[in-house]
Amino acid sequence: MSDFLSQARALLGDTHVLTSDLAGYATDWRGKFTGVPLAVCRPADTQQVAALVTLCAAHSVCIVPQGGNTSMCGGATPDSSGQQIILSLSRLNRVRDISPLNNTMTVEAGCVLQTLQELAAQHERLFPLSLGAEGSCQIGGNIATNAGGVQVLRFGNTRDLVLGLEVVLPDGQVLNLLKALRKDNTGYDLKHLFIGSEGTLGVITAAVLKLFPAPRSRAVAFAAFQTPQQALELLGLMRGAMGDRFTAFELMSNASVAMVQRYFPASPALFAMPYPWHVLMQASDGGEQSALDNAFQAALETALEHGVIDDVLIATSEAQAKELWMVRENISEAQQLDGANIKHDIAVPVSSVPAFIEEVLPLLHAAYAGVRPVVYGHLGDGNLHFNVSSPAGMSTPHWQAETDRVNVIVLDVVARMQGSFSAEHGLGQLKNHEMAMYKTPLEIDVMRRVKNALDPKLLMNPGKLLPN
Ligand code: FAD
Ligand code: 2HG
Ligand code: ZN
């Protein structure tokens, strides 16, 4: 291995092959997985990535690509063998091109998502991918996980926002698919193989992204309900009234909101009395603020009159809109601060969400007295974060030991409702074994055939995505 490391240093420079102080790279955001990397390698550009991957192939060294290291399932954390390198994309952070006329930008994989959103805004464009980790996750990681976030309702997942890709294949060749085309039916659309492949098929080094006209106005409201069924009715009503202007619809249980208020005391006050369920919703468009406000408020008044919502708080300023959004965006961090929780990132058909919640909550309470489900997520996409915090007083190791049993309770209902056991976070090393339970043998076999064809030496992010 010293031979490999000295050659890596010759390629990248001594300061970009790190073998000490690796804690920030070796542990995941949740603090759930800690690996022992052989080294953290920080190439500067696509050519250096290609040279490093070629070197790894020659020495049979496994590669764990890492972007912002915000994976929810240990996707970017190596194993404990001390034989795998972390390939950090952070230095590939250039914007190669931005074209307002084409509504595209060509960017390197290590660009931080928020930086790209801001860049698009400077050109009066919108890059609509938006998620709580946007200040640190990187576009390469977003593409590798096909990230979702809070505007999928209107703009789709990351997959829908990528026009072209540049990928270093496991043998070190550079596959250039960096076209900015809206139409291109010339055989298999290879970029889609790499989107959502979690670093198991190659290293994404650059992408052509879609841009949209920048919104000139936005309307935001927080609504309160007794039941998720009411929230679903509101979704239908608002989409009918607002059409394509409706961009986000986020469900939150009272426990989710209360957790944010506990750990982020500066959070805004909401309603005079507690409600079991809330929704944060948003509409935006390119027209006048007053016209958007009028349509939004009229729709919400109709919802109030018909008892679809019990109460509503409409943001009266951009500052208030941001405050309301912080309640939603801080749930993940608040639950992390609260301690052990068993996460689920599930999807069912949108219309089945209320039935799903009504079926699973009693099952959990029957199995564990005092259990604290923190249910929230992207109701408009049928995607819930059904995260279960430990019963009060139960120790973290004790609760973690219940993971498989809790998973079966939740995921068997998901399977029965033709849902997905991982809607937007991917599988990593947390959920890859669930494939064997919830995917057909043929699906897994076809995935393995793709993996073997592109990475016959199985060097790319082993132990992730596919079951071991
Ligand atoms: P990393 O964590 O570094 O890596 C993720 C995976 O991608 C790993 O398998 C890694 O090997 C691979 N990878 C990374 N870069 C590359 C590359 N260039 N080429 C090939 N493979 C690569 N996710 C959502 O979908 N929606 C949300 O709303 C959401 N909210 C979040 C909120 C918080 C507070 C946090 C901490 C996370 C959230 N996430 C969410 C999860 C996470 O942010 C996303 O999965 C994100 O896309 C990961 O990006 P990253 O750069 O941090 O990737
Ligand atoms: C969100 O929607 C993220 O906030 C994180 O996907 C979900 O922490 C989670 O489970
Ligand atoms: Zn989410």
Show Cβ contacts of residue 217 under 8 Å, excluding neighbours closer than 6 positions: 284, 285, 286, 287, 288, 289, 291, 292, 293
How far does CA 344 lie from the centroid of its chain? 13
If we measure between CA atoms, which residue out of 296, 307, 130, 325 comes closest to residue 231? Answer: 307
Chain region(s) in the chain for CATH 3.30.70.2740:
339-423
DSSP characters over 323-387 = HHHHHHHTHHHHHHHH--EE--EEE--GGGHHHHHHHHHHHHHHHSTT-EEEEEEEGGGTEEEEE
Domain 2-88 CATH (choose: 3.30.830.10, 3.40.50.920, 3.30.43.10, 1.10.3720.10): 3.30.43.10
The CATH architecture assigned to 339-423 reads 2-Layer Sandwich (3.30)
Question: 342 C-alpha to center of ligand 3: Å?
Answer: 15
Tokens of residue 347, six digits: 């999807």
pLDDT given at position 1? 74
**DSSP tally for the chain: helices H, then strands E:** 17, 19
The CATH architecture assigned to 217-328 reads 2-Layer Sandwich (3.30)
Question: 153 C-alpha to center of ligand 1: Å?
Answer: 20
Tokens of residue 457, six digits: 């030496």
Chain region(s) in the chain for CATH 3.30.70.2190:
217-328
The ligand 1 atom at the shortest distance from the C-alpha of residue 197 is 21
Question: 294 C-alpha to center of ligand 1: Å?
Answer: 38
Atom 1, ligand 1: which residue's CA is nearest? 69
- For ligand 2, which residues put their CB under 6 angstroms from it? 72, 132, 331-332, 343, 377, 385, 387
Class of domain 95-213: alpha beta
Question: 23 C-alpha to center of ligand 2: Å?
Answer: 23
The C-alpha atoms of residue 124 and residue 102 are separated, in whole angstroms, by 13
* Cβ neighbours, 10 Å, residue 349: 12
- For ligand 1, which residues put their CB under 6 angstroms from it? 29, 64-72, 75-76, 89, 109, 131-133, 137-138, 140-142, 144-145, 147-149, 198-199, 203-204, 332-333, 424-425, 428, 461, 464
389 phi and psi, to 5 degrees?
-85, 155
pLDDT given at position 340? 81
Chain region(s) in the chain for CATH 3.30.43.10:
2-88
Pairing of strands 104-108, 203-210: antiparallel
What does the DSSP 8-state code read for residue 309? -
Ligand nearest to the CA of 71: 1
Give the tens place of pLDDT for each residue, 51-93: 999 999 999 999 999 999 999 999 999 999 999 999 999 999 9
The ligand 2 atom at the shortest distance from the C-alpha of residue 425 is 6
Question: 288 C-alpha to center of ligand 2: Å?
Answer: 32
pLDDT below 70 — which residues of the chain? Answer: none
What does the DSSP 8-state code read for residue 211? -
* Cβ neighbours, 10 Å, residue 233: 18
Ligand nearest to the CA of 149: 1
